[in-house]
Structure 1
Amino acid sequence: MVGPLKAVENGYFRAFNFSGRASRSEFWWFAAYYALVTLLLALDLAKGGTLLIWFWLLNIIPNLSMTIRRLHDIGRSGLWFFISFAPIVGPIILLIFYVLPSEPHRNSWGDPENGGGARPKDRFSGRSAQSGYAALMRIPEAGQAHSEEFEEARRQEIHEYYRRRVLGQNG
């Protein structure tokens, strides 16, 4: 799950990236930030200021890219954005798309970058981090058991590794 600061950061630093995916939390944190700033700048507009107008103009591209990446995250083309121009039903359909859960697997626009319902992947092997740890620890497959001697030897091996590599003791 993406936090509010990371969502705003992604919104601006990935503003011109119309490919890829934006998780539900990333999208909604960015939307909350946008709504809050709009509300605060509306006070300036009431006094005759133009900050809100500039904010809207400067955020057209980041909002559009975030919306398109959110649509990609649920497996829809970014062209679905244009349904928002259909009176009454268009924005409702788009809102429904915004609240749908992320596709948990890789789709046409890539892997779920920010969670998206999937486990974290080891970028080198394509397996989950847990399976890599299990291989490192030589955890037996389901239904298999290790002998007591093997378990003790493995504990000693890990202890020695920790002592040498982490604590820096070579003796």
Structure 2
Amino acid sequence: MNWYITVLKKYAVFSGRARRSEYWFFVLFNIIVSFVLGFIDGMLGLGNPEAGIGILSLIYALAVLIPSIAVGVRRLHDTNRSGWWLLISLIPLIGAIVLIVFFVLDSQPGENRFGPNPKGM
């Protein structure tokens, strides 16, 4: 939960680096919240079967869109890659696989062009 709050505090911070744990705990918490909100949407009848998303889920997804992009960019910075690599996700299947590999890789040791290693803090 602490990592989730940390990412939200850095709402639109695209500079710096993010550790693997910061990124993956944020993703895990987003998945859990999305499932819970989807369940609530279904129980309250707020879901739209044609669109496949409910109103609460949509509001949440829009609220965390910018922090999700920002933490993804900072995670790529931690592996010494530009945030522009996020655009590779536009390539179906292969792009997502490449990004997952980049997000799983360990931090670049020491300082890189994006800042000091967050593990050293």
Paired position in structure 2 for 1:84? 89
Shift of 1:25: 0.7
Paired position in structure 2 for 1:40? 36
Alignment length (residue pairs): 112
Shift of 1:76: 0.4
* Residue 115 of structure 2, aligned match among 110, 117, 122: 110
Paired position in structure 2 for 1:93? 98
Paired position in structure 2 for 1:11? 7
* Residue 25 of structure 1, aligned match among 17, 21, 24: 21
Q: Does 1:64 align with 2:88?
A: no
**How many Å separate the matches in 1 of 2:10 and 2:117?**
16
Shift of 1:51: 0.8
Alpha-carbon deviations, 1:80-111, whole Å to 9, x = none?
00000101100000000110001111011100
Alpha-carbon deviations, 1:108-149, whole Å to 9, x = none?
110012x1xx4x5xxxxxxxxxxxxxxxxxxxxxxxxxxxxx
Structure 1 segments of 4+ aligned residues over 6 angstroms from their partners: none
Identical-pair percentage: 35
Structure (1 or 2) with the larger CA radius of gyration: 1
2:113 alignment partner AA: S
Paired position in structure 1 for 2:50? none
**How many Å separate the matches in 1 of 2:41 and 2:101?**
31
Could you tell me the TM-score, scaled by structure 2's length?
A: 0.88
Could you tell me the TM-score, scaled by structure 1's length?
A: 0.63
Shift of 1:45: 2.5
Unaligned 5+ runs, structure 1: 121-171
Paired position in structure 1 for 2:59? 54
Shift of 1:44: 2.0
Unaligned 5+ runs, structure 2: 47-54
1:109 alignment partner AA: F
